[in-house]
Amino acid sequence: MTVNMEIGMITPPVGLNLYVASGISKMGLTDTTKACAPWILVMLVYLTIITYIPQISLWLPNLLYK
């Protein structure tokens, strides 16, 4: 869920983190978006894996509650 929220906060139209990163780096919004694109793709792949293979995210709770 955290990765999903971060993807929402880094992509337009909300993109609050994108606007903050753009302001801190003194880059334009388009340049910042292009720089963040590879990381967004990595997060989307990670989110897809976690969503469709729940054993990855549930191994620690299962270990603790056995």
Question: Is it the case that residue 1 has pLDDT exceeding 80?
Answer: no
The whole-angstrom separation of Cα 31 and Cα 35 is 6
pTM score: 0.74
The pLDDT-based confidence of 46 (bands split at 50, 70, 90) is very high
Distance of CA 52 to the CA centre of its chain: 17
Q: Where are the domains of the chain?
A: 2-64
Quick: pLDDT tens for 11-38: 877 788 888 989 999 999 889 989 989 9
Residue carrying the six token digits 């910042």: 32
Average pLDDT taken over every residue of the chain:
89
Are the C-beta atoms of residues 47 and 54 closer than 8 Å to each other?
A: no
Percent of the chain residues topping a pLDDT of 90: 36
Tell which residue, 43, 3, 50, has the closest CA to residue 59: 50
